[in-house]
Amino acid sequence: MTLLTRTEGAHAPVPGRPRRGPGLSAVPAFVFMALVAGYMLLPVYWLLVSATKSQGDLVSTPGLLLADWHLGENLSALFAQQDGVYARWLLNSLAYAGAGAAIGTLLAAMAGYALAVYRFKGREAVFSVILGGVLVPATALALPLFLLFAEVDATNTFWSVFLPSVVSPFSVYLARIFAAASIPEEVIEAARIDGAGEWTIFRTIALRMMSPALVTVFLFQFVVIWNNFLLPLIMLQDERLYPVTLGLFTWQSQTSRVPELQTLTLVGALVSVVPIVLTFLLLQRYWRAGLAAGAVKS
C-alpha cells in the first residue's frame, strides 16, 4: 500500500507548475499532414487555374497565378472540338467504368462469397492463384490480351476494352474478406434449414449483408477502369471508341502542331475528374461503412 501511494504521488500534479496541454504534441503531426495535403492538392490547384486561362495566358503567365477568366469559353470550345468528340469519349468512359465496375463487383461478390462460405478441396489453392493475380502488373497482361482478342478478330471493338475490365483479382480478394466478416455461418445454416436454395441465400441474404462493403469494391474498380490507359491504347484504333484518357492523350500529342489543343486538354482533364468526385460523394456513406466492415471480423 505504501509503495502504491508513493507511485501515485510521483505522478500527481505539482501545485503551481503549469500543466502541459495534450494538444501541444499534436502540432508537429498537424503541420506535417498539412504539408502533405498541400503537396497533393497543388497539382489540382494548378489544373483549376490553368483551365480558366486562354491559350495566350497559359503561355505567358505563371502556372499558379490567376489570369483573365475564360473557363466558360474553354468549356464551349472543348465540347465543340471535332464535332463534339470529347462528349463521346466521356460517354465511352462512363460505359467502360460504370457497367464494367457494376458487373465486376457482382462477379467479385459471387467469387468472394463462394471462397468464404463453401469448403471444397483446393479452395486455398484457388485463393492463392487469385492473390498471385493481384501481384501481376497490368502492363504484363496487355500484350497477351491483345493477342487473344486478335485471334478472334475482336480488337478495335468496345468488348476488347470492356471484357478485361470486369475481371479484378483484387476485388475478389476484398469480397472474400468482406464476406467472411459480414455473413455469419449461423444465418446461412438457418436459411438452408428453412428450405432456401444456395442462389436464393446469396441473392436475398448475402448480397444485402455485403452491400456496404461491395460499394467499396465498386469504387475501387470504377476508378481503376476510368483511369485505364494502356489497354485502350493497345486495343483501339477507332477514335469514336476512345475513353477520355486516351482521347486527351491524342490531343496532347498534337499540341506541337495545334497549340490550342493544350488548353482543351487541360479543361478536358478537369472535366474528367468530375464523374469520379461525384461518384465518391454520392457513395461516401456506404464507402465508409464498407471499409469498417472489413476491419474487424465478427
Residue type, 100: G
pTM of this prediction? 0.82
CATH number of the structural domain spanning residue 145: 1.10.3720.10
Q: Identify the burial level of 2 via C-beta atoms within 10 angstroms of its C-beta, where 0-12 means exposed, 13-18 middle and 19 or more buried.
A: exposed
Is 133 found in the same domain as 37? Answer: no
Per the structure block, which three cell numbers stand in for 262? 493544350
Quote the domain boundaries for residue 49.
32-69
Q: Select from 138, 86, 79 the least CA-distant residue to 242.
A: 86
Q: What is the pLDDT of residues 213-252, one digit of tens each?
A: 898 899 999 999 999 999 999 999 999 999 999 999 999 9
- Please indicate, yes or no, if residue 126 is contained in any of the structural domains: yes
Is 64 found in the same domain as 124? Answer: no
Between CA 283 and CA 51 the distance in angstroms is 27
Is 51 found in the same domain as 114? Answer: no
Is 233 found in the same domain as 106? Answer: yes
Per the structure block, which three cell numbers stand in for 128? 492463392
Per the structure block, which three cell numbers stand in for 178? 468482406
Per the structure block, which three cell numbers stand in for 255? 499540341
**Mean pLDDT for the stretch of residues 40-48:** 90
Is 250 found in the same domain as 137? Answer: yes
Cα distances (Å, whole numbers) of residue 35 to 28, 43, 49: 11, 14, 20
In this predicted structure, what is the pLDDT of residue 14? 52
Q: What is the pLDDT of residues 161-220, one digit of tens each?
A: 999 999 999 999 999 998 988 888 898 999 998 888 889 999 988 998 888 889 889 999
Is 39 found in the same domain as 121? Answer: no
- Please indicate, yes or no, if residue 270 is contained in any of the structural domains: yes
Between CA 292 and CA 297 the distance in angstroms is 10
Q: Select from 221, 293, 226 the least CA-distant residue to 91.
A: 226
Is 94 found in the same domain as 61? Answer: no
In this predicted structure, what is the pLDDT of residue 88? 95
Is 267 found in the same domain as 139? Answer: yes
When divided into structural domains, the chain yields a total of 2
**Looking at 69, 95, 118, which one is the last position of a domain?**
69
Q: Select from 249, 92, 62 the least CA-distant residue to 161.
A: 92
- How confident is residue 282, by pLDDT bands cut at 50, 70 and 90? confident
- Please indicate, yes or no, if residue 10 is contained in any of the structural domains: no
- Please indicate, yes or no, if residue 24 is contained in any of the structural domains: no
